[in-house]
Amino acid sequence: MKRYISDFGRFDRENAYYGDDLGAVTIGEITTFRVWAPFCTGVYLNLYTGGTGNNKIETLVMRRQDRGVWSVELMHTCYGYYYTYTLEYEHREYVETIDIYAKGCGVNGDRGFIPDFSELEPKDWNETPRPVCENAVDAVIYECHVRDFSISENSGVPFEKRGRFEGFTVEGTRYEDIKTCLDHLKELGVTHVQLQPVNDYATVDESKPYAGKYNWGYDPKNYMCLEGYYCSDAEEGEKRILEFRELVTALHKAGIGVILDVVFNHTYFTEDSAFHKTVPYYYHRLNRDGVFSNGSGCGNETASDHAMYRKYMIDALKFWATEYKIDGFRFDLMGLHDIDTVNIIRDELDKIYPPLLMYGEGWTGGESPYPTDRLAYKWNSYSFGRVGLFNDNLRDGIKGSTFELRSTGFVSGSDHAIISVKRGIAANSRYRALQGIADDLCWAFTPAQAINYCEAHDNNTLWDKLSISAADRTPEERRKMDKLAAAIVILSQGVPFIQLGQDFLRSKPKILPEGVERNEFNTFDENSYNAPDETNMVRWEEKKKNYDVFLWYRALIALRRSSPLFRLRTCEELDAHLHFHNNTDIIAFELIGTEECYFVVFNHRREERYVNLPHGRFYKRLGEDGKPEYKRFEGGVHVPPISCAVYKRL
Ligand code: CA
């Protein structure tokens, strides 16, 4: 197909369509199909009874309306039908595609499906409210992949529900006496689950549900449809919708919000994507030479700055927030979206549900032709409000550079990282006491803008990173390092983020072909996006084995949620309540409120440290075992090697 547009600004002014009625819209007994396809010489609607196969009902001619919108009206509802469009170019070239506005799809996402959402309401759907989250800093986010969560035979979930949306809905699951899955989430005390992409992705064949295939899902195909691999029957368009709503209901009932990981920054297919087929060379950014640019590192990048892709993102997000009661969005490679789009999305979502969380990766996966000062990069954080950014500065300060296997961080003994961790404790914000040195690293304009973490789906797990970078230390010491890392993430100002299983030393062993020898570079998988379950799944038996680690994470989360001093809302509050002690070789700080005072020590050294307590009498709020010690402390305390201790004033 040829390129029709030379000036996108002018093209948008003359052709962008702002109606909120694209796709298949049913009002009363009439269903109208509308598609924006300004370059076509004809558009046809194909109706089918199935999501695949030879079962066409009829093909209808669509009529061109204003601004390149084509439509056809049917005098009956079309619920339960599948459909595609055939697009005609230059009166001779024909291409069939799914509707980018399809709200459901058939197997493998090649035909749209028309759902009646009012008929797809699981039990308690309307009665279950969204969990309350007043401010983003009140959230504790837990990143999960749908399949990893319950696919293990020790998950306690019945075989036919493992690895699927349904895996999140089963109560009372155990491995021996250990709580797993949904019960585990409740026991741990997280407030939000962030699901790796659940919208329809391309590379796993949904028609073979037991083939054991795997993908993280950053290969998006349909942005308003759910992934069929996570559903009990991908052939039936209703099932994935109903089962995902059951997941949302189960988590909401448990008081846990649902955050979706959205990958609007690129499309898995380029020329073969529904976007390009419908409006050639419009939805993706192009380099000066007219070739698709690759700011995502995945072959292309989308153009949020073009009016109709911006509108598409807004429409899709509003759809998820309303039809699925979603509580937040995590934007993959958010640095590829322009700042205006990000701000408009925030405003639009505020109209639906103001506490909804928005955050993303403030970087890209390659070079974009779009001006960097207008993209949602981390260093442009002052340009977008109430949108969080992953805090890679704290991440690398805690454990060492993510990209250098052997690099060490604060918990593995690096003194150079002390300042990075201190900045992280102050949410990498404009906190007064740390101003003057490396101010560009103090990028957060409110604590809520810093998403603090040291492990996510990308790169090695924390435990694997420590196994490599601290190989010369004992496993017992590395365990202490892991716990100290957790304390930093969870007790820092900002929003804590942890990965599924991080709380019981999750590892991702690399599966090697026969005959390949194991070495430090291939023992663990640092990019397991399509690796088998043996690498990716959570092993619930490890929770039992590392139960002390789990209890520690749980205690930290409970402590954080128990006091507003760990969840300060503004930089002014940080200035008023957070005070670092001048220990040069470890980190100690006070959080002083009107009613409470905490004293927190992070000792990363291999020796015990004697630390002066602030004035007054204290008790140990959190010791190494995660439990309080109700004994009176005054003057000073001994803090064990590689540990965190928290004292509270009596
Ligand atoms: Ca799929």
Q: Domains, the chain, ranges and CATH?
A: 8-97 (2.60.40.10), 136-566 (3.20.20.80), 571-649 (2.60.40.1180)
pLDDT range class, residue 336, cuts 50, 70, 90: very high
| pLDDT value, residue 584 | 78
Q: How many CB atoms are closer than 10 A to CB 613?
A: 19
Instruction: Taking residues 449-460, report their average pLDDT.
Output: 98
User: Is pLDDT of 214 > 90?
Assistant: yes
| pLDDT value, residue 520 | 77
Instruction: Taking residues 234-258, report their average pLDDT.
Output: 98
| 109 C-alpha to ligand 1 centroid (Å) | 6
**Amino acid identity, position 240:** R
At 109-166, the pLDDT tens digits run 999 999 999 999 999 999 999 999 999 999 999 999 999 999 999 999 999 999 999 9
| pLDDT value, residue 597 | 97
Active site residue 246: no
**Amino acid identity, position 108:** N
Instruction: Taking residues 329-340, report their average pLDDT.
Output: 98
pLDDT range class, residue 440, cuts 50, 70, 90: confident
| pLDDT value, residue 385 | 84
| 199 C-alpha to ligand 1 centroid (Å) | 8
| 219 C-alpha to ligand 1 centroid (Å) | 9
User: Is pLDDT of 564 > 90?
Assistant: yes
| 114 C-alpha to ligand 1 centroid (Å) | 17
Q: Across-strand partners of 144?
A: 195
Distance CA 359, CA 336 (A): 13
Instruction: Taking residues 31-59, report their average pLDDT.
Output: 98
Q: Residue 207: left if φ>0, alpha if ψ -120 to 50, beta else—which one?
A: alpha
Give burial (CB, 10 Å; 0-12/13-18/19+) of 8: middle
pLDDT range class, residue 406, cuts 50, 70, 90: very high
Instruction: Taking residues 446-468, report their average pLDDT.
Output: 97
Share of the chain above pLDDT 70, in %: 100
| pLDDT value, residue 80 | 98
Q: What is the DSSP letter of 264?
A: T
| pLDDT value, residue 629 | 95
| 530 C-alpha to ligand 1 centroid (Å) | 14
At 603-634, the pLDDT tens digits run 999 999 999 999 999 999 999 889 999 999 99
Instruction: Taking residues 165-178, report their average pLDDT.
Output: 98
Q: How many CB atoms are closer than 10 A to CB 55?
A: 11
User: Is pLDDT of 103 > 90?
Assistant: yes
| pLDDT value, residue 175 | 98
| pLDDT value, residue 1 | 87
User: Is pLDDT of 284 > 80?
Assistant: yes
| pLDDT value, residue 521 | 81
Active site residue 347: no
- Check 332, 525, 542, 573 and give the catalytic one: 332
Instruction: Taking residues 49-73, report their average pLDDT.
Output: 97
pLDDT range class, residue 91, cuts 50, 70, 90: very high
What phi, psi does 90 have (nearest 5°)? 55, 30
User: Is pLDDT of 16 > 90?
Assistant: yes
- Check 301, 327, 361, 503 and give the catalytic one: 361
| 51 C-alpha to ligand 1 centroid (Å) | 13
| pLDDT value, residue 338 | 98
Instruction: Taking residues 255-269, report their average pLDDT.
Output: 98
Q: What is the DSSP letter of 129?
A: P
